């Protein structure tokens, strides 16, 4: 299994990791199915939805399963990872998903790529769909993100599009987004990590 192994073992039920003085137990849960008509992926804080741009990488088009790895820490549960599975092909390497002028660097580099979260949750969706959502006015935003259920993991459906919303670990932070490639250099997974496991220190 390619490093970091936790990117995949966290989605195997009852995986246990010892992290400092904590015992972390992971289980996989289904969130929903995402529709990607263009394969241009967007991720970020809902409050910044109007300014989000797509990753440089182009992902497969179609409908794909979105899963979360839930970690139990002393009886409290948090989202540890969220991923989109494009294919059952094995991942042979992980790379950062890049935006704008970012250059490819090793995921083990001292420099870190990530997206900021200030409200404890994030959305992921197709860029075309996000543009459509932004064009619907404030009422649609308020309906989905301005209520008591706004931070819950859910599928947001509008017209022929959807977005997936999920809580981001313990809340606010700067979180990495990664692409898993197969032996033919095709993206088979997209994953975001909420930094419960310090895998970069163990390589």
Joined tokens for residue 201: 């220190």
Note the pLDDT of residue 150.
60
Q: 3-state DSSP call for residue 200?
A: helix
CA 150 from chain centre, in angstroms, equals: 17
Element (H, E) at 9: helix 6-9
Note the pLDDT of residue 148.
62
Element (H, E) at 144: helix 138-145
Q: Tens digit of pLDDT per residue, the chain (203 long)?
A: 899 999 999 999 999 999 888 899 999 999 999 999 999 999 999 998 888 999 999 999 999 999 999 999 999 999 999 999 999 999 999 999 999 989 899 999 988 899 999 989 999 999 999 999 988 878 888 888 876 656 689 999 998 899 999 999 998 999 999 999 999 999 999 999 999 999 988 65
Find the DSSP H helices in the chain: 6-9, 127-134, 138-145
d(CA 202, CA 68): 23
């Amino acid at each position: 299994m390619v490093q970091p192994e936790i990117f995949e073992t966290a989605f195997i039920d009852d995986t246990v990791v010892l992290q400092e003085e904590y015992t972390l137990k992971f289980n996989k849960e289904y969130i929903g199915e995402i529709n990607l008509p263009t394969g241009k992926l967007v991720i970020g804080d809902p409050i910044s939805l109007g300014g989000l741009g797509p990753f440089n990488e182009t992902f497969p088009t179609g409908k794909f399963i979105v899963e979360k790895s839930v970690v139990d820490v002393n009886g409290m549960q948090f989202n540890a990872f969220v991923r989109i599975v494009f294919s059952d092909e094995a991942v042979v390497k992980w790379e950062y998903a890049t935006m704008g002028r970012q250059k490819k660097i090793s995921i083990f580099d001292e420099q870190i790529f990530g997206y900021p979260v200030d409200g404890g949750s994030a959305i992921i969706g197709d860029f075309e769909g996000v543009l459509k959502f932004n064009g619907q006015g404030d009422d649609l935003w308020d309906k989905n993100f301005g209520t008591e259920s706004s931070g819950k993991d859910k599928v947001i459906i509008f017209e022929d599009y959807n977005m997936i919303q999920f809580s981001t670990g313990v809340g606010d932070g700067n979180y990495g987004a990664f692409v898993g490639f197969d032996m033919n250099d095709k993206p088979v997974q997209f994953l975001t990590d909420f930094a419960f496991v310090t895998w970069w220190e163990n390589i």
